Chains A and B, each alone.
Chain A
């Protein structure tokens, strides 16, 4: 079945540091890939997405590129802020008859001033 593997957290960075959160996936067919963010006490919300190979999703300074050859969708940001502290989830939406969304275990990011 489909699976998503994320790097273990928590990740602690100083403000303005470079961020990478690794995500790799296993899926049949051609899934769409997503990054969701969860702020404390809230539900998940979409951060960015890519629906086909070589697409780059971007939002709020975050980027991720859909790499089919390495089955990866790593999240990057050039300069993190304290307000980026949250839990980040990589997810894939399968391309089968019924949509199913498979999530990674989440990576907690803490940015310190």
Chain B
């Protein structure tokens, strides 16, 4: 199916564990993004990527790692999860700077 998919949709993990959220898009869009959505903060950019092997920090990158070895995949890793990283995470992609961003359905992550 064409589109952008995130997995898993829901995840519960313990403090200190490493967890990876997956994002896959089928359009070969150059740009990909990771956001977290928290009440009162809207969406905050964690990391973004302009192309394979090119990534850069967003507004709230601490505690997160990304990679982009292939254009279609953009995984987000929490190296040692903390309770403050409990959030809904959205992956998005877009073709260029003037086109819309397409969002996945989100991953609800709970760190206990």
Contact = CB atoms under 8 A, between A and B. Distances in A.
Interface of A: 32, 34, 36, 42-46, 49, 51, 89, 93-95, 98-106
Given A43-B106, A44-B90, A44-B103, A51 B42 contact: no
Given A43-B90, A99-B31, A100-B58, A93 B98 contact: yes
A94 B100 contact: no
Contacts of B35: 103
Nearest to B55: A98
A99 B41 contact: no
Contacts of B43: 44, 89, 103, 106
Which of B35, B48, B101 counts the most A-chain CB atoms under 10 A from its CB?
A: B101
A34 B100 contact: yes
The 10 closest A-B pairs by CB, nearest first: A43-B103, A105-B42, A99-B97, A46-B100, A103-B43, A44-B103, A98-B50, A106-B42, A43-B105, A32-B98
Contacts, number: 60
Given A32-B97, A98-B50, A99-B94, A104 B58 contact: no
Contacts of A44: 43, 90, 92, 101, 103
Contacts of B103: 36, 43-45
A43 B4 CA distance: 11
A55 to B, nearest CB: 11
Contacts of A103: 35, 42-44
B41 A98 contact: no
Interface in B46-66: 48, 50, 56, 58
B96 A99 contact: yes
6 contacts: A43-B106, A44-B101, A99-B94, A103-B42, A105-B40, A105-B42
Contacts of A32: 97-98
